[in-house]
Amino acid sequence: MRKFLFLASLFMPALSFAGDKNKLSGNWREVSRKTMKNEAIAYKDTIKIEFLPGGNEYVWQKAGGFIYKGTYKLEANGLDLGMRYFTVAERKGNKMILKDEGGIYEMESYTPVANTPEAKRQEVFAPVKTVQQMAGHWSVYKRTSANKVNAIDYSRQLKMVDFYPSQKDGKWGAFFATKDADNAPSWMVETYVNQIVYLDGKDKRQFTVIKCADNELIMEEDGVTYYFRQFK
């Protein structure tokens, strides 16, 4: 699948929409701005939005302005950037139309110039083929959610994970919830197939591995993305 996406990216201007309906991807820039009465607005502060791979983070910048980085939530037709909220009026191909009280913004996806910071932020992560690539003790340093979180369940929210270089008692690792003691994990790693970690214990869970490189492990479950590091 990742190989297919990589090859597809060579022939498309940008990967506009991720497979998950609650996620966006790629680089977008404003090509027109109108009032709510559909009248053209002259502007110089062109909006650019980058939806980053592996989670629900984005980078926002207006021409001549500061770069802002945050997390977004996309639910139904609402795009919540935290500092700004848009209604998504249209999502089709390489075109997206956003609306707010200030007007109507037509966005087009584009491919950033090679070797620029924009391009590097969109680099596809190398596949993680084996558990051994993730071996070690990993601690959460950041979490993001693609959906609104009304209350945090600390008996399920992860704080750290261990992956073993070889099986121990038939298991490949251990996952710890925030409430767990450091020697009492709630879940054990049963197997790892096609970048999915299968857990059993308090209940069954599945995590998709997005990245394991440069001392960073990224995994996602049901719209919640966990970022881990190995601290010395």
Query: How confident is the prediction for the chain on average, in pLDDT?
Result: 89
Q: How many domains does the chain fold into? A: 2
Residue 114 lies inside a defined structural domain of this protein: yes
In this prediction, residue 38 has a pLDDT band, given cuts at 50, 70 and 90, of: very high
> How confident is the model over 49-67, as pLDDT tens digits?
999 987 889 999 999 888 9
Residue 101 lies inside a defined structural domain of this protein: yes
- Residue 17 above 50 pLDDT? no
Q: Which domain CATH number covers 214? A: 2.40.128
**Residue 29 and residue 83 share a domain:** yes
Is 57 in contact with 71 (CB distance < 8 Å)?
yes
**Residue 101 and residue 147 share a domain:** no
**Residue 109 and residue 20 share a domain:** yes
Query: Cα separations (Å) of 93 from 17, 25, 40, 90, 194?
Result: 8, 12, 23, 10, 28
Q: Which of 95, 121, 147 is the last residue of a domain?
A: 121
The predicted pLDDT at position 212 comes to: 96
**Residue 177 and residue 88 share a domain:** no
Q: Which of 121, 151, 186 is the last residue of a domain?
A: 121
> How confident is the model over 78-100, as pLDDT tens digits?
999 999 999 999 999 999 999 99
- Residue 115 above 90 pLDDT? no
Q: Which domain CATH number covers 101? A: 2.40.128.280
Q: Which of 121, 152, 186 is the last residue of a domain?
A: 121
Q: Stretch 106-114: mean pLDDT, rounded?
A: 94
**Residue 108 and residue 33 share a domain:** yes
The predicted pLDDT at position 20 comes to: 60
Kindly state the percentage of the chain with pLDDT values over 90.
75
**Residue 81 and residue 179 share a domain:** no
Q: Stretch 147-156: mean pLDDT, rounded?
A: 87
Strand order in the sheet with 85-92: 67-71, 57-62, 47-51, 26-34, 103-110, 95-100, 85-92, 78-80, 73-75
Which residue's structure tokens are 């404003």? 30
- Residue 11 above 60 pLDDT? no
The predicted pLDDT at position 54 comes to: 79
Element (H, E) at 120: helix 117-121
Residue 28 lies inside a defined structural domain of this protein: yes
**Residue 179 and residue 198 share a domain:** yes
Residue 136 lies inside a defined structural domain of this protein: yes
Domain hosting 156: range is 131-229
Residue 126 lies inside a defined structural domain of this protein: no
